[in-house]
Amino acid sequence: MIARYRVRIPSPLRSYTRGHDEVIVTLPELSPDHGPPLRAIIAALDSSFPGIRFRMVDEQGKLRPHIAIFLGPKAVRDLGTPVAPDTDVMIVAALSGGD
């Protein structure tokens, strides 16, 4: 079976998704209630939209400090977190700068 994930893209990253604010990522379903890790969804996103992963994940494989990811209503930072099939994934990018 194939699991679908709706990924919401914040404005600062939409240049990678050709302006789309939402994209669908599909991955093989591991089990009905235990999906792939979040890192697999980000990798699939990067396969379709090269360069987006680098803007979200640092060289040590951790989320960059200005990026937050929500799986449904729950905020997660661990890229190993399993994502149940049909979960909405929302990426949030904090803005900073200026005086």
Domains annotated on the chain, with CATH: 2-93 (3.10.20.30)
Identify whether the C-beta of residue 42 lies closer than 8 Å to the C-beta of residue 78.
no
CB within 8 Å of 39: residues ≥ 6 apart: 61, 79, 80
Confidence (pLDDT) at 32? 62
pLDDT of residue 2: 84
pTM for this structure?
Answer: 0.88
When pLDDT is averaged across residues 61-75 and rounded to a whole number, the result is: 95
pLDDT digits (tens, 9 = 90+) for 8-59: 999 999 999 999 999 999 988 776 667 889 999 999 999 999 999 999 999 9
Residue 62: strand, helix, or coil: coil
